[in-house]
Amino acid sequence: MARLPRFVISGQPQHVIQRGNNRQEIFCADEGYRFFLQRLQAAGEKHGGDIHAYILMTIHLHLLVTPHTEDGIGKLMQRLG
């Protein structure tokens, strides 16, 4: 079953969680964390989203993002993927 579309209000903070497929690791080394943070910053700048907080764990991550447009979070996450 497909997930329901995200309800986004531009200018309102959103909690975003992303997990690895089948709970597999998404970060295996320190370089992976650093690379992801660089890409996260670039994606936020490109797609108009303020990244307020993040937690990067081995098998998942949490973001607190305020989008400037209705499709900002979707575009940001597509770019990270």
- The model's pTM: 0.83
3 belongs to a structural domain = no
Which residue(s) pair with 62 in the sheet? 17, 55
Instruction: Give Rg (Cα) of the chain.
Output: 13
Percent of the chain with pLDDT over 70: 99
What is the reported pLDDT for 80?
A: 84
User: Which residues constitute the domain of residue 55?
Assistant: 14-80
d(CA 37, CA 20): 17
CATH number, domain containing residue 44: 3.30.70.1290
Residues 6 and 72 sit within 8 Å (Cβ to Cβ): no
**What is the average per-residue pLDDT within 16-44?**
91
- Domains in the chain, number: 1
